[in-house]
Chain A
Amino acid sequence: MRYLKEVFSARELLANLTLREIRGKYKRTIFGQLWSLANPLALMLIYTFVFAFIFRVRPDKGDPSGLDVFALWLLCGLLPWTFFANVVNMGLASLVTNSGLIQKVYFTRIVLPLSMVASAAYNWIFEMGVLIIALIIVGAWVLPWIPLVILIMLLLAIFAAGVALMLSIANVYFRDTQYFLTIILQLWMYLTPIIYPSSLVVAQSARVGGLFGTSITVSDIYHLNPMQHFVEVFRNLLYDNRFPDLGEWLVCTGWAVGSIVIGTIVFRRNERNLAETL
């Protein structure tokens, strides 16, 4: 509890560090903030070309929205994923890149990874805003779902923050973590139904049946991935325009709470040794 108070009292510092990140990022660029849209747009184009045009991946029509636009369907999963990946990548590096500061000034260290979460969230909100406008233009009935979209965004941000806290500490002790993470994130992305619908996995899993004579199916293992549940909720709200299964909400909340609790405990335990270890 006392720790939470300490973090709360550092909120101004958190805001300032976030501003430093946001303002510093696109300084001296002509397009400025628009650059944050460039990466998802490029990914959207290439994935749409490869998976919708060449491989002919056909996700189900939005139910009940009736939407049938692969690019938008893709973005509903891709934007949450890129946010998650950005938070984890930036959060992981936050302690090592600010080692000079940590060794010279005392402040609540946790604001360093958290400011990365906040600055990534800033870009993400911008991207999601553009996506929602695009969805409205093609006729999706998104507006009533926006409060729930904000709620799931919050849950994903908390989940990502917890992971970033753990990994930022791990990276201080083992610099391998950053290289390891690049690979993990790549695998993780393909294990998440971003560029294909998870119904394909379920169908294929039913065909294969239980693995190695047990009743565990591929789909059971597949559903252990927390990001799969997050993406499902995002798609339900944004693309299908319906209320996601209550079970999905519970799973997402569980992962978010578990991740932030463990992340904070790990961070707190190691916080004092940072200046020496870095």
Chain B
Amino acid sequence: MTEIAVQVDHVSKSFRLYHERNQSLKSAIMRGRTSVHEDFWALDDVTFDVPTGSTFGLIGSNGSGKSTLLKCLAKIYFPNKGEITPFGRIAAMLEVGSGFHTELSGRENIFLNGSILGMTKKEVTSKFDEIVEFSGVEQFIDQPVKNYSSGMYVRLGFAIAINVDPDILVVDEVLAVGDAEFQEKCLQKFRDFRTAGKTVILVSHDMGSISTMCDQAAWLRNGQLVVAGPADSTIKAYTDSFSTGSGDPATSGDTEG
């Protein structure tokens, strides 16, 4: 086995399903409690390793826990049990352009967004030209971003995020941004990433892009890991489960086997 980039060790994450939620002080006092809830396990004892230098795909149907896992990887959620250990700098791209201030110019937003994503001013300055070039908004860089088209907005956000230059990049279905030309640029960037020996973890529903981009994959169902391993066999197992009707849709539960 090669080196490990991220170790996901028996990770469980529960959310509270509220039957009653008293978010105002009055109702909390009147009812004598802040909430009535039961736990819903969005992730249940998930364990796998992501090898260094791989492009790792997370697949599964809606509500299978992919996004929760991604948010745990991005340190936005914290698992109730288990641990996620990254070996290297991790950067997450769950939404592009979050934290943009619409009244500020593209230039100011690059610095702002870069620092939100954990870059130092020096890093942003040195990558500034690259970011602007990649986004293709050179002409409008000193305009407030509220005047940007939605495509420009997203491209700028993506260009900043991809230039954070982490060891491990976590991506949520943001590949579907921009026109075909920009998408090709993004794919190229991911390929560069891989040749540089860096790790990409991504979530997508598009089996085509998963199978072309990923060499490793993990399949989640109802918060549990079904299988993790080489992409081809995992995807095949996942798609096969549709035809046999054993795994999906999620409502069928644990009827398999």
Complex contacts, A28 vs chain B, CB 8 Å:
103
Task: For the complex, give the distance between the alpha carbons of A24 and B94 in Å.
Answer: 25
Complex contacts, A27 vs chain B, CB 8 Å:
103-104, 144
Query: A104 near B: Cβ within 8 Å?
Result: yes
Task: For the complex, give the distance between the alpha carbons of A13 and B120 in Å.
Answer: 8
**CB proximity of B57 to chain A, nearest CB, Å:** 21
Instruction: Contact check, A174 vs B94: say whether CB atoms are below 8 A apart.
Output: no
Query: A245 near B: Cβ within 8 Å?
Result: no
Complex contacts, A56 vs chain B, CB 8 Å:
none
**Residues 130-151 of chain B, each 1 if its beta carbon lies under 8 Å from chain A, else 0:** 0000000000000010000000
Instruction: Contact check, A276 vs B95: say whether CB atoms are below 8 A apart.
Output: no
**CB proximity of A110 to chain B, nearest CB, Å:** 14
**Residues 158-182 of chain A, each 1 if its beta carbon lies under 8 Å from chain B, else 0:** 0000000000000001111100100
With A16-B111, A173-B34 given, is the CB distance from A107 to B116 under 8 Å? yes
With A23-B108, A173-B34, A276-B15 given, is the CB distance from A104 to B94 under 8 Å? yes
Task: For the complex, give the distance between the alpha carbons of A103 and B115 in Å.
Answer: 17
**A15 to chain B: closest residue by CB:** B115
Contact of A24 among B75, B104, B116 (CB under 8 A): B104
Task: For the complex, give the distance between the alpha carbons of A272 and B24 in Å.
Answer: 21
Complex contacts, A20 vs chain B, CB 8 Å:
101, 104, 108, 112
Complex contacts, A101 vs chain B, CB 8 Å:
98-99, 116
Instruction: Contact check, B23 vs A106: say whether CB atoms are below 8 A apart.
Output: no
Query: B253 near A: Cβ within 8 Å?
Result: no
**CB proximity of B18 to chain A, nearest CB, Å:** 11
Q: Among residues 1 to 50 in chain A, which have CB atoms less than 8 Å away from a CB atom of chain B?
A: 12-13, 16-17, 19-20, 23-24, 27-28
Instruction: Contact check, B115 vs A276: say whether CB atoms are below 8 A apart.
Output: no
Complex contacts, B121 vs chain A, CB 8 Å:
12
Q: Among residues 22 to 42 in chain B, which have CB atoms less than 8 Å away from a CB atom of chain A?
A: 23-26, 28, 34
Query: B77 near A: Cβ within 8 Å?
Result: yes
With A12-B115, A174-B25 given, is the CB distance from A275 to B77 under 8 Å? yes
In the assembled complex, 24 residue pairs joining A and B whose CB atoms fall closer than 8 Å, in A order, are A13-B115, A19-B108, A20-B112, A23-B101, A23-B108, A27-B144, A100-B98, A101-B98, A103-B76, A104-B94, A105-B74, A105-B117, A106-B76, A106-B92, A107-B117, A173-B23, A174-B24, A174-B28, A175-B23, A176-B24, A176-B25, A180-B25, A272-B78, A276-B77
Task: For the complex, give the distance between the alpha carbons of A100 and B105 in Å.
Answer: 20
Complex contacts, B10 vs chain A, CB 8 Å:
none
Complex contacts, A104 vs chain B, CB 8 Å:
76, 94-95, 98
**Residues 71-106 of chain B, each 1 if its beta carbon lies under 8 Å from chain A, else 0:** 100111110000000000000101100110101100
**A28 to chain B: closest residue by CB:** B103
Task: For the complex, give the distance between the alpha carbons of A101 and B108 in Å.
Answer: 17
Query: B230 near A: Cβ within 8 Å?
Result: no
Q: Among residues 199 to 223 in chain A, which have CB atoms less than 8 Å away from a CB atom of chain B?
A: none
**CB proximity of A178 to chain B, nearest CB, Å:** 11
Instruction: Contact check, B92 vs A175: say whether CB atoms are below 8 A apart.
Output: no
Complex contacts, B112 vs chain A, CB 8 Å:
16-17, 19-20
**CB proximity of A278 to chain B, nearest CB, Å:** 11
Complex contacts, B117 vs chain A, CB 8 Å:
105, 107
Instruction: Contact check, A105 vs B108: say whether CB atoms are below 8 A apart.
Output: no
Instruction: Contact check, A174 vs B103: say whether CB atoms are below 8 A apart.
Output: no
**Residues 66-78 of chain A, each 1 if its beta carbon lies under 8 Å from chain B, else 0:** 0000000000000
Task: For the complex, give the distance between the alpha carbons of A12 and B98 in Å.
Answer: 18
Complex contacts, B15 vs chain A, CB 8 Å:
276
Q: Among residues 117 to 167 in chain B, which have CB atoms less than 8 Å away from a CB atom of chain A?
A: 117-118, 120-121, 144
Complex contacts, A16 vs chain B, CB 8 Å:
111-112, 115-116
Complex contacts, B71 vs chain A, CB 8 Å:
275
Q: A13-B116, A16-B115 are in contact. List 12 more A-B contacts (CB 8 A).
A: A13-B115, A20-B108, A24-B103, A24-B104, A27-B103, A27-B104, A27-B144, A105-B99, A105-B116, A105-B117, A106-B74, A176-B25
Task: For the complex, give the distance between the alpha carbons of A27 and B77 in Å.
Answer: 35
Complex contacts, A180 vs chain B, CB 8 Å:
25
**Residues 84-120 of chain A, each 1 if its beta carbon lies under 8 Å from chain B, else 0:** 0000000000000000111111110000000000000
Task: For the complex, give the distance between the alpha carbons of A102 and B74 in Å.
Answer: 11
Complex contacts, B74 vs chain A, CB 8 Å:
105-106
Q: Among residues 232 to 278 in chain A, which have CB atoms less than 8 Å away from a CB atom of chain B?
A: 272, 275-276
**B103 to chain A: closest residue by CB:** A27
